[in-house]
Amino acid sequence: MHGVSVTVNEGEIVALLGRNGAGKTTTLRSLMGLTRPREGSVHILGCETTSWAPYEIAALGVGYVPEGRRIFASLSVEENLLVPTGRGGPWTVDRVYRLFPRLLERRDNMGRQLSGGEQEMLAIARALLLNPRILLLDEPSQGLAPLIVQEVFNIVTQMRTEGMSVLLVEQNVRAAVEIADVACVLDDGHVAFTGPAKEFARDETRVRALAGASSTNWEEHSGP
């Protein structure tokens, strides 16, 4: 990483985009204290957290949904939801069940028995139970059918309406910029673009060049 600077304001969705290997996941891991930055510093919610442990950053008000979901496969949905212990706040097990009615239907099923979309919902629900002020999402659409992607992204948008900040790492460029306020594009560890997401979406050449979206993929996901 080379001088990467990302700012996420309160109640804002920032899409962190770029090709595979550009440094997106490393950025999230550095914010979460899982990968120590060699240089520079990390500031979250007014605190310098560069040397903090992940549990301290979570306690500050940061929720993290890693790539691959990483739910507990041998625990039931309900047991997965009882694991997090975070700050007090509005998010409870009952409330996440209302947000994710599919999880309520599957509450007694083991994590391994869930579909990819259900596992993603469970991973997000677990993070919400920490009552975070900022949510870090790493590739939430990976491996999901388009209808499920839309459902997951609708939930992410709802987080913004409740004042939560979201930093979203996503390969599905079109889906990400449709819900994001700001696009930040990484290229080989550098920030190649940062600005309004809609402005980025209008520049098809930049999308292809910096985010690695193929012409076919971009046209398939473009609106009228």
Q: Over the stretch 171-193, which tens digit does the pLDDT of each residue have?
A: 888 889 999 999 998 887 788 88
Report the relative pairing of strands 43-44 and 47-48 from DSSP bridges: antiparallel
Q: What is the pLDDT of residues 91-128, one digit of tens each?
A: 999 999 999 999 999 999 999 999 988 999 999 999 99
What fold characterizes domain 13-70+135-221? Rossmann fold (3.40.50)
| pLDDT of amino acid 219 | 40
Q: Are 164 and 137 in contact (CB under 8 A)?
A: no
Give the per-residue pLDDT at 5: 79
Q: Is 75 exposed, middle or buried (0-12, 13-18, 19+ CB in 10 A)?
A: middle
Provide the pLDDT for residue 53.
95
pLDDT at 224: 37
Residues of the chain with pLDDT under 70: 1-3, 85-87, 210-224
pLDDT score, position 28: 92
pLDDT of residue 223: 43
The Cα-based distances of 196 to 15, 120, 139, 178 in angstroms read 10, 27, 20, 11
Residue 94's CB is within 10 A of a number of other CB atoms, namely 8
**Residue 16 in 3-state DSSP?**
strand
Q: State residue 79 phi and psi, 5-degree precision.
A: -65, -40
Positive or negative torsion for Cα 184, 185, 186, 190: negative
Q: Evaluate whether 179 touches 206 at the Cβ level (below 8 Å).
A: no
Q: φ and ψ at 64, to 5 degrees?
A: -135, 125
Output the pLDDT for position 217.
43
Contact 166, 160 (CB under 8 A): yes
- Using alpha carbons, list the distances in angstroms from residue 215 to 20, 21, 91, 115, 199: 17, 20, 41, 30, 18
Residue with token string 């109640």: 11
- Can you point out the beta strands (E) in the chain? 13-17, 43-44, 47-48, 62-65, 134-138, 165-169, 182-187, 190-196
